[in-house]
Amino acid sequence: MTARTRSPGAPLLWRLWWLVAALGCAGVCAGEVQDRVQARGEVRVCIRPNYHRISFRDPRSGQLSGLDIDLASALAADLRAKLRFVDSSFATLEQDLRSDRCDVAMFGIPVLPQRMEQIQFATPYLQSDIYAVTTRTSRVVRQWRDIDQPGVLVGVQEGSLLEPLLRQRLRNAGLVSIAPPHTRERELIAGRVDVFMADYPYGRTLIETTDWAALLVPPEPFHVLTYAHATKPGDAEWMASLNAFGARIQQDGRLDAAARRHGLENMVQR
């Protein structure tokens, strides 16, 4: 099982974004966030506390775990600052950063063009394709090519980035948007959908923690996403600090070690 695939358009998109950011800054961006972190001696990190293997809070113990929890601790240590976690979500990400609820968001955030218009991304550190979750006993979807077939119902979380993507990509299967309090897992087990789509961390968690889930890997890249830490735009010093941190954890092995601890070593961006 692997999560490492390449998206031909991603490097070009990334270079263009950095060119726009550099021209817009032109050396006059203030160090507002950097100065605040140094003055307070505290770095506030936005997390999404329901993201298994990335930033997850145990509902019983309240303990946080995941790759980005480890990396946030490493960032605070490098900055010699206290660490404070702030609960966030994909829905509130841009507002939380721009309103200074947190100094940086670290919860496996996919780099999307629409997000680049609102927030600033550090150098990507992870990548993942889209995977399919079905049941081990399914008679409808047993392999990837079974998904986009007439009569097959494909579940997707309502409002997620996958919803418009699947509406565009699926030609024959039906798409079912699943809104809370319903969940993709319950709809699949109940037979109201035949398969649902997920990224690698969530898919791997399911197959290791349940006795019913099966993960289907696309035979060729389906829609590769890169993930990066994010902050508000306009602070070149803080972005340089985050990129320097990203380079250090790549070089000294802390990123690889954290990824191995959480079973995500195949997602590390090289």
Looking at the structure, do residues 146 and 111 belong to the same domain, yes or no?
no
State residue 116's pLDDT score: 94
* Inter-residue contact 45 to 105 (CB < 8 Å): yes
Domain boundary among 174, 194, 216: 216
Residue 2 lies in a domain: no
Q: Are 117 and 56 within one domain?
A: yes
Looking up residue 230, the CATH number of its domain turns out to be 3.40.190.10
Single pTM value for the model: 0.84
* Distance between CA atoms of residues 63 and 164, nearest Å: 34
Q: Are residues 175 and 258 in the same domain?
A: no
Q: Whole domain around residue 109: which residue ranges? A: 10-128+225-267
In the chain, the number of structural domains is 2
Please provide the average confidence, as pLDDT, over all residues in the chain: 90
Task: Check whether residue 16 and residue 121 sit in a common domain.
Answer: yes
Q: Same domain, yes or no, for 44 and 87?
A: yes
* pLDDT of 122 over the 50 cut: yes
| pLDDT value for 258 | 98
Q: Give the percent of the chain with pLDDT over 90.
A: 84
Q: Please identify, among 198, 216, 234, the residue that sits at the C-terminal boundary of a domain.
A: 216
Q: Which residue has the tokens 């990129």?
A: 243
pLDDT over 90 at 174, yes or no: yes
Average pLDDT of span 65-72: 98
In this structure, the answer to whether residues 124 and 21 fall within a common structural domain is yes
Res. 80: pLDDT tops 60: yes
Residue 2's pLDDT is: 53
Residue type, 51: Y
